[in-house]
Amino acid sequence: MKKTITLLTLLLLLPAILAGCGSRTIEEENKEEATAGEIITVGFSQLGAESDWRNTNTASMQEALTPENGFNLVYKNGQQKQANQITAVRTFIQQGVDYIVLAPATETGWESVLTEARDAEIPVILVDRRVDVADKSLYSCWVGSDFELESKKMTAWLKAFTDRRNISPENLHIVNIQGTPGSTAQIGRTRGLANAAREYGWDLMTEVSGDFTENKGREVMAALLKGYDNINVVYCENDNMAIGAIDALESAGKRVGQNIMNGEVMVVSFDGVNEQSLQYCREGKISCIAECNPLHGPRVQALIEALENGETPEKFNYVDEGLFSCVSSVKNVVVDGTEYTIQEP
């Protein structure tokens, strides 16, 4: 009799038990869906891996935009080709990502694909380099360096150095190994040097692209040595090219250093990320490095979170940067009314 009552009781309770189990399952599924919905998918089109700065920049993005921080990062390497980046952006649009982060190879040629992103209501954040478009609403904001200011700091340092050594402006014979033509960094760093050369009367002999790579920097420097016999300052628009240029100089029997009135060749550079370049700066092979900060990941994360909260970030977001040098005679420089203290590398 007890077994019968127990069986009947179970039969009567079974619908409630099943309903209860079903409710918990639906609740758990809804919770999982809500959690999944909180993940922000970001498509990141990096222009390539041509330098240590670029690789550090990529790593910073990958470390910041993680699932633990609420992000799903889709990374595409453009291999220094704008066409690859445009394809990547269109793929992101088709995938329906929440945000697109773009580090453009060059400034021009982006109107069509950025218009497609805007039509799809996907905000675009630019990092490092900018785009030259008439309609600035095609991207939400930009974060990166003031490349012309970097150059102004470098040329102010070079002016201070030559003043302290009593070196006449006409005795500076400079070659510029440029970055990728048309990139924001190349434009700003080239313009800054050209303006300073005109202002101070320096002999800026030529400008040749080294594409921001060590191998091209080495190749270009070797060719320049064959064309000019009086080079005493090599202005390299990034560290990797400077390393290649120093290799070419030393292979040609040249001495690298600050004693430019007695046969040495001074090398200056930009970035301050590559450990070899910093060591060269400590040794005096690179006389000065203008810092270019690559750690944009946390900044991009903050910009996306601001947009998610309905805020409107500043259109242009600059990072703070300094100068590194082992030359003790120059302690600081003043650019546009701001004093910058020279740091040890």
Q: What is the mean pLDDT of residues 162-175?
A: 97
Per-residue pLDDT at 16 exceeds 80: no
Per-residue pLDDT at 19 exceeds 50: no
Per-residue pLDDT at 80 exceeds 80: yes
Q: What does the DSSP assignment read for 108-125? A: SS-HHHHHHHHHTT--EE
Question: What is the pLDDT confidence band of residue 38, given thresholds at 50, 70 and 90?
Answer: confident
**pLDDT 10s digits, 139-167:** 999 999 999 999 999 999 999 999 999 99
User: Which two tokens mark 267?
Assistant: 């090398």
* Closest residue by Cα to residue 107 from 146, 133, 78, 134: 133
Q: Which of 22-36, 85-99, 285-299, 324-338 has the lowest mean pLDDT?
A: 22-36
User: Which two tokens mark 121?
Assistant: 């209501």
- Give dist(CA 186, CA 182) in Å, integer: 7
User: Which two tokens mark 63?
Assistant: 């470390």
Q: What is the mean pLDDT of residues 239-263?
A: 98
User: Which two tokens mark 181?
Assistant: 């033509």
Q: Which residues contact 325 (CB under 8 A, 6 or more apart)?
A: 157, 281, 287, 288, 289, 342, 343, 344, 345
Strand 173-178 to strand 288-291: parallel, antiparallel, or no bridges (unpaired)? unpaired
Per-residue pLDDT at 102 exceeds 90: yes
Q: Which residues contact 203 (CB under 8 A, 6 or more apart)?
A: 170, 172, 173, 174, 197
Q: Exposure of 190 by Cβ count < 10 A (0-12 exposed, 13-18 middle, 19+ buried)?
A: buried
Question: Could you give the 3-state DSSP secondary structure of residue 23?
Answer: helix
Q: Which residues contact 344 (CB under 8 A, 6 or more apart)?
A: 282, 324, 325, 326
CB 73 within 8 A of CB 62: yes
* Closest residue by Cα to residue 298 from 46, 64, 103: 64
Strand 40-46 to strand 71-77: parallel, antiparallel, or no bridges (unpaired)? parallel
Per-residue pLDDT at 240 exceeds 60: yes
Q: What is the mean pLDDT of residues 214-236?
A: 98
Supply the pTM of this predicted model.
0.84
Per-residue pLDDT at 185 exceeds 90: yes
- Give dist(CA 152, CA 200) in Å, integer: 13
Q: Provide the 10 A C-beta neighbour count for residue 38.
A: 7
- Give dist(CA 136, CA 56) in Å, integer: 28
Higher pLDDT, 2 or 309: 309
Beta strands per DSSP E along the chain: 40-46, 71-77, 99-102, 124-127, 141-144, 173-178, 203-209, 233-236, 255-256, 264-271, 288-291, 316-318, 323-325, 332-335, 338-343
**pLDDT (0 to 100) of residue 37:** 53
What value does the mean pLDDT of the chain take?
91
Q: What is the mean pLDDT of residues 233-254?
A: 98
Q: What is the mean pLDDT of residues 181-192?
A: 96
Q: What is the mean pLDDT of residues 11-25?
A: 40
CA triple 103-107-113, angle to 5 deg = 70
Q: Provide the 10 A C-beta neighbour count for residue 299.
A: 20
Question: What is the pLDDT confidence band of residue 318, given thresholds at 50, 70 and 90?
Answer: very high
Per-residue pLDDT at 94 exceeds 90: yes
Per-residue pLDDT at 195 exceeds 90: yes
Higher pLDDT, 6 or 261: 261
**pLDDT (0 to 100) of residue 8:** 37
Q: What is the mean pLDDT of residues 53-71?
A: 97
- CA neighbours within 13 Å on the CB side: how many for 193? 27
Q: What is the mean pLDDT of residues 75-104?
A: 97
- Give dist(CA 52, CA 287) in Å, integer: 19
Q: What are phi and psi of 206, to 5 degrees?
A: -165, 165
**pLDDT 10s digits, 291-311:** 999 999 999 999 999 999 999
Per-residue pLDDT at 34 exceeds 80: no
CB 208 within 8 A of CB 181: no
